[in-house]
Amino acid sequence: MRIFDRTVATALPLVPRPLVRRFADRYMAGETLEQAVQTVQALNAESMMATVDVLGESIREPAGATQTVERYIQVLETIQEKGLDANISVKLSALGLEIDRRLGSENAARLVGEAESRGIFVRLDMEHSGLTDATLEIYRELRDAGHERVGVVIQAYLRRSLGDLRDLAPLRPNVRLVKGIYVEPPAIAYRDPHTVNRNFVDLVEELVGAGSYVAVATHDPVVVDESLRLFDRMRLDPAAYEFQMLLGVAEELRRQLVDHGHRMRVYVPFGDAWYSYSVRRLRENPSIAGYVARDVFRSISPL
């Protein structure tokens, strides 16, 4: 199965764009804000929250970073106007972080300020390890400036993550915990799935013990079950945590969690940068690439 997954992921750049779009459609809301709104409204109707992401990262021109900020402000205005149960997620490289550290920081501050004025939370996504320090620094700067409606992401496969959480503990950060999908060397990241899972649950416990709000972002039923046992053992109020999942993935599991009274937030990406997003994400996560390919093959099979 893993060989098939890797083969699919490696071959993706050779696949025609219409077929890649077939891969992508289930996992993104579309190219327009209107489509994203419709997706969020459907999720809200099913008692699920959303986090909206404007597709695009690693922006190389300042004008592109400014355009990204403006598009996010449109998202914020729409969330407020339509009363959506949603927040936003943003990659700092889309705000110009890889162009200039100050540019990324200033754009992040502007966006967080715009969101805060509307009572909307902002999640700073985590990217490859080369941006980890800068992302955490900007998060600290925003908190030091008095912004409370902002959170960050920690990746369980990184060896440094426990230390990062302990450094952040005085802030009682709102953290989305993920396994991590970027390809990193063994010196930086754990490779063994069991070790990553164990570290994930240990980090959840660290966060809960420090009084932080934790967003458990995983589709892995083993990690979900371990986290639920931990919450039960610690008698944690359901308002103190949530689960998060990607749009179109593990839909049965997310419904089960909602039916049992757990908060669920679904990641809703949209925009015209869908092709690069799809190829990059599927190549970085062969298991999802294989999952999507099998799903497509089943949908077109006459049997």
Q: For 228-270, what is each residue's pLDDT tens digit?
A: 999 999 999 999 999 999 998 899 999 999 999 999 999 999 9
Q: What pLDDT was estimated at residue 47?
A: 98
Is there a contact between 208 and 152 (Cβ–Cβ < 8 Å)?
no
pLDDT at residue 1 above 60? no
pLDDT at residue 299 above 70? no
Residue 154 to residues 44, 89, 174, 180: CA-CA distances in angstroms?
26, 14, 10, 8
How high does pLDDT run on average in the chain?
Answer: 90
Mean pLDDT of all residues in 75-95: 98
Mean pLDDT of all residues in 66-84: 98
Q: What pLDDT was estimated at residue 289?
A: 56
* Residue with more model confidence, 276 or 130: 130
Provide, for the chain, the percentages of residues in helix, strand and coil under a 3-state DSSP scheme, each rounded to the nearest 5. Answer: 55, 15, 30
**Sign of torsion, CA 152 157 162 167?**
negative
| Confidence band, pLDDT 50/70/90 cuts, at residue 300 | very low
Is there a contact between 182 and 284 (Cβ–Cβ < 8 Å)?
yes
Q: Which H or E run contains 274? A: helix 274-284
Classify residue 238 by its DSSP letter: G
Q: What percent of the chain has pLDDT over 70?
A: 84
Is there a contact between 168 and 141 (Cβ–Cβ < 8 Å)?
no
| pTM > 0.85: yes or no | yes
Residues with a catalytic annotation lie at: 125, 176
pLDDT at residue 292 above 60? no
Those residues whose C-beta lies under 8 Å from the C-beta of residue 155, and which sit 6 or more positions away, are 126, 161, 178, 179, 180, 182, 189
* Residue with more model confidence, 99 or 2: 99
Is there a contact between 52 and 268 (Cβ–Cβ < 8 Å)?
yes
Mean pLDDT of all residues in 52-79: 95
Residue 124 has, within 13 A of its CA and on its CB side, a CA count of 33
Q: Which of 136, 129, 126, 125 is nearest to 186 (CA)?
A: 129
In the structure encoding, which two tokens stand for residue 271, read together? 């925009």
